[in-house]
Structure 1
C-alpha cells in the first residue's frame, strides 16, 4: 500500500472524467473470450462456493474465518497476488486480508468482499450447500461468499487474458463486515484512499441489480433511572423506569422522516429483574438509518430534546447516538459507473436494475473518503440474513463477466 492517507492525482482526474461523462462506452458485442471463460468457470466456481458455504464463519468465529481466509488466500496466491493480513479489533482474533496484483497500466481498482456471515456455529452442518430448482442454498451463500467467488474468478479470467492494463488491483476481504470493527473501518478507509475506484462485491439484488446508494447506520440508546419499591405493597413509592422507557420509545420512535428516508425503530428493551419489584432502571435501543449524514446530527439533537418530556416524575432519562457506517450517497460519479456497468451487461443482452438499500455496508466507508464507489457486484440472490438465503445459479457466469469487463473498462478509462 502506497501513500496511505492521500488520494493520487490520477484519482482526481478520474473523478473529473466521470463527472464530465468521459467514461469509455462498452462495446455492443460481448467479449467472446471473457464470456467463454465465465461460462466454463461456472461449475468450478460453484464448487468453491460450496466449500466456503460449508464452513461456519459467523462474525467473531475465528476458526471458521481462518479456514475461509486460508482457502481464499491460496486461490489469490495462485493468481500472483501478494498477501497482507491485518488483525481485527480485540478480543476478535480474526484477521482481514489484503491481496494485491500489480499491472502495467495506471488504474488503481479496489475490490471488496467479506468473509463473515450472520449465522452461528453449527449452521453449515444443519443447512449445508445445496442446489435446488436453479438456486444454491446455505449460510452466507450470497452474502457474501458468492462475492468472494465472483472476485476470484474475475481475476482468473484476467490472468488467462494476460490482462495487466491496470496499475494495481487490490482485493480486500473484511473479517467482520456484519458487526463492524474499528480495525476494519480504519483499514478500508486507508486502503480506499490509495485507489481510484471501489467495486464492492456484496450480493446482486434479486432483480439482478446493483446498489448505487446505501443508508448509514447508528444505534440510539435511551437509559432511564427510576426508584425501586415493592410492586404490590408500595408501588407508589417507586419510580417505574420501565414505564418511562415505554413512554420514551413511543415519542422518540416518531423522530424518523419518511421524506428524507430516515428511520428509527426500537428493537431492544431491558428493564427490571423481578416481577414483584418496580424496576429502577431500563434501557431501550433503536436501529437508526439515514440517507444523508446531516440526519444523524438532527436525530442526536432531537433525542435529547424530546426525551426531556417525561411521563414519570423524578426519573432520569439520558440518550446517546452511537454512529456506525456513514451513508453512501448517489453521486454524479456513481451514476457514470452505473452507465458503464449497464453497457457491459447489455453486451450479454441483460439489463441491470439500479436500486438503493437500507442496509449499511463497507462500500459506505470507501465512498465516505471520496472514492467513486458502486456496490452489488456479487452473485444475485435473495432472502438475505435468513435460513432461506439463496443464490441464483444462472447468475454466476454473467456476474463474473460483468466484474471482469468492469475492471477492463475502468483500466481503459485511465490510459
Structure 2
C-alpha cells in the first residue's frame, strides 16, 4: 500500500513505530570497536560542547555565529576536510560552513546542523555551561551545539577507525536556522540534491527518539491603518487601529484546524506610541504550523477574507502569510532510515522511538528536495528554546555510536 503524504497523526506515528519494530531483524551484537571509540570520546565531546556553548551565537549575533564557525572549522581542518565558508544570502547573518570528506565508497552522505541559537548576547554570562545531576545546561547546549559536536566526533571516530567506505560525507552548518533559514535554505536544498541521504542533527527527543515527520511553518502579519486623534479632546474623530486589530486577532483564533493538527497563533501585538493618542496603526504577527501544504493555502485565503470585513469604520486591513519551512511528510525513504537506525540502536540494547514534531527544521528543505532524510540524531535533551534547556550527558555515548554506525551502514550502499 502506498505511504500517505498527508499529515502524520499521533496514531500514525505509533503505528509506524510498531510496524518498523516488527520488521527489524534479530538484535545483532554491538560493534565493539565503534562502541569503544564512542566511550573514549565522551569527555572530549563534553569539553568541545562547553567551548561552543560558552560563545553567544543568537541568530542576530553574526559575530558570535562566526566565532562558533571558526572553532568548528579548525576541528574540520584537523580532520582533513575541505572546508568552505558560504556567506548568508541575506544581510547581517553569520556565514554558513560546508565541509567535505572524500572516501572510496558509494554513498554521498549529508550531515546538517546549525550554529545559531534563540538566545540574545549576554545569555552565556547569565547561564554558563555546567553539568549537574547528569544534565549539561547552557544556551544552545542541545539545540543545536550538541548536534554539531556529535557530528564532529562521529567524523573523528571514522578517521580513527580508518573507515572510508563512503563517496563523500558533507557537514553543512547553518547560520540562521532559528529564524527560518532565509539566508541558507537555497544552499541546503542544493546540497541535499547532490547527496543520497541526509542525517539532521537536531536534538534527540526526550523519549530517546528520532523525528520522522515535521510540520511546515509560516509567519502571518496583519496591518491595520486607522486615523490618529487626541484621546481626550476628540476621540470620536479618530479611527482606532488597535480596536480593529483586536477584532481581527479574535477572528484569526478560529483559523486553526484541530482535526488536521493545524495551529494558528497570534504571538506579538503592536499599536500606538503614547497613551493619550488614538493609534493610527496597529500590527499583529503570528505563527502557523501544518502537516500539509494545502493548509497554508487555505489559511492564506481565510486571512485575506477576514481583512475584507472591518469592525471600526474607515479602517483598512492588510494581511500576509510568509512560508518559512515546508512540511516534512512521512515517506518510504525516511521509513527505511528509521528501521536501519532502530536496528543499530538495538545493538547496544536501546530502543528508538519515532515521532512527528510541530517544530520546523532544515530537514524539511532536504526532504522537499527529494532526498531521504531522518532527523533528531543529536544529543537527547529537553527544555528547547528556554532557560531550562538541557542535554542528557549519558546520551552522548549511545547517540555517538548510533550516528557513527548509521554512516557506516549507509556509506557503502549502492
TM-score (norm. length: structure 2): 0.92
Give the conservation status (yes or no) of the 8 Å contact 1:269–1:283: yes
Task: Identify the range of structure 1 (369-378 vs 305-314) with the bigger mean alpha-carbon deviation.
Answer: 305-314
Aligned to 2:102: 102
Aligned to 2:408: 408
Measured in 1, the distance between the counterparts of 2:255 and 2:385 equals: 27
Measured in 2, the distance between the counterparts of 1:199 and 1:242 equals: 46
Unaligned ranges ≥5, structure 1? 1-22
Aligned to 1:275: 275
SS of alignment partner, residue 156 of structure 2: helix
TM-score (norm. length: structure 1): 0.91
Alignment of 1:156-235 (within 5 A): 156-235=156-235
Alignment of 1:286-325 (within 5 A): 286-325=286-325
Give the conservation status (yes or no) of the 8 Å contact 1:248–1:307: yes
Give the conservation status (yes or no) of the 8 Å contact 1:150–1:379: yes
Aligned to 1:349: 349
Alignment of 1:88-167 (within 5 A): 88-167=88-167
Measured in 1, the distance between the counterparts of 2:371 and 2:151 equals: 19
Measured in 1, the distance between the counterparts of 2:233 and 2:25 equals: 78
Measured in 2, the distance between the counterparts of 1:67 and 1:282 equals: 38
Measured in 2, the distance between the counterparts of 1:122 and 1:312 equals: 43
Measured in 2, the distance between the counterparts of 1:49 and 1:43 equals: 10
Aligned to 1:68: 68
Give the conservation status (yes or no) of the 8 Å contact 1:58–1:117: yes
Structure 1 residue 232 displacement after superposition = 2.3
SS of alignment partner, residue 177 of structure 2: coil
Measured in 2, the distance between the counterparts of 1:223 and 1:129 equals: 41
Structure 1 residue 90 displacement after superposition = 4.3
Structure 1 residue 25 displacement after superposition = 6.2
Give the conservation status (yes or no) of the 8 Å contact 1:252–1:307: no
Measured in 2, the distance between the counterparts of 1:26 and 1:173 equals: 36
Measured in 2, the distance between the counterparts of 1:335 and 1:90 equals: 34
Task: Identify the range of structure 1 (58-67 vs 141-150) with the bigger mean alpha-carbon deviation.
Answer: 58-67
Give the conservation status (yes or no) of the 8 Å contact 1:88–1:181: no
SS of alignment partner, residue 206 of structure 1: coil
1:43-102: CA deviation from partner (whole Å, max 9, x where unpaired): 111111111111111113233222211111111112211011111134325211000011
Measured in 1, the distance between the counterparts of 2:397 and 2:165 equals: 23
Give the conservation status (yes or no) of the 8 Å contact 1:326–1:365: yes
Give the conservation status (yes or no) of the 8 Å contact 1:255–1:302: yes
Q: Note the aligned Cα RMSD (angstroms).
A: 1.6
SS of alignment partner, residue 340 of structure 2: helix
Instruction: Summarize the Cα distance change of 1:282–1:93 in structure 2 as closer, same or farther, 3 Å threshold.
Output: closer
SS of alignment partner, residue 118 of structure 1: coil
Aligned to 2:253: 253
Structure 1 residue 183 displacement after superposition = 3.0
Aligned to 1:284: 284
SS of alignment partner, residue 213 of structure 2: strand
Give the conservation status (yes or no) of the 8 Å contact 1:25–1:340: no
Measured in 1, the distance between the counterparts of 2:399 and 2:187 equals: 27
Give the conservation status (yes or no) of the 8 Å contact 2:189–2:366: yes
Alignment of 1:40-55 (within 5 A): 40-55=40-55
Aligned to 1:7: none
Give the conservation status (yes or no) of the 8 Å contact 1:41–1:153: yes
Measured in 2, the distance between the counterparts of 1:323 and 1:332 equals: 25
Measured in 2, the distance between the counterparts of 1:58 and 1:87 equals: 17
Measured in 2, the distance between the counterparts of 1:73 and 1:316 equals: 51
Task: Identify the range of structure 1 (99-108 vs 123-132) with the bigger mean alpha-carbon deviation.
Answer: 123-132
Give the conservation status (yes or no) of the 8 Å contact 2:93–2:176: no
Give the conservation status (yes or no) of the 8 Å contact 2:24–2:343: no
Measured in 1, the distance between the counterparts of 2:181 and 2:361 equals: 12
Structure 1 residue 173 displacement after superposition = 0.5
Give the conservation status (yes or no) of the 8 Å contact 1:111–1:201: yes
Structure 1 residue 260 displacement after superposition = 1.2
Measured in 2, the distance between the counterparts of 1:196 and 1:45 equals: 28
1:284-339: CA deviation from partner (whole Å, max 9, x where unpaired): 11111111111111111111112322211221111111111111111122111111
SS of alignment partner, residue 182 of structure 1: coil
Measured in 1, the distance between the counterparts of 2:90 and 2:336 equals: 39
Instruction: Summarize the Cα distance change of 1:24–1:186 in structure 2 as closer, same or farther, 3 Å threshold.
Output: farther
Measured in 2, the distance between the counterparts of 1:104 and 1:26 equals: 30
Structure 1 residue 255 displacement after superposition = 0.4
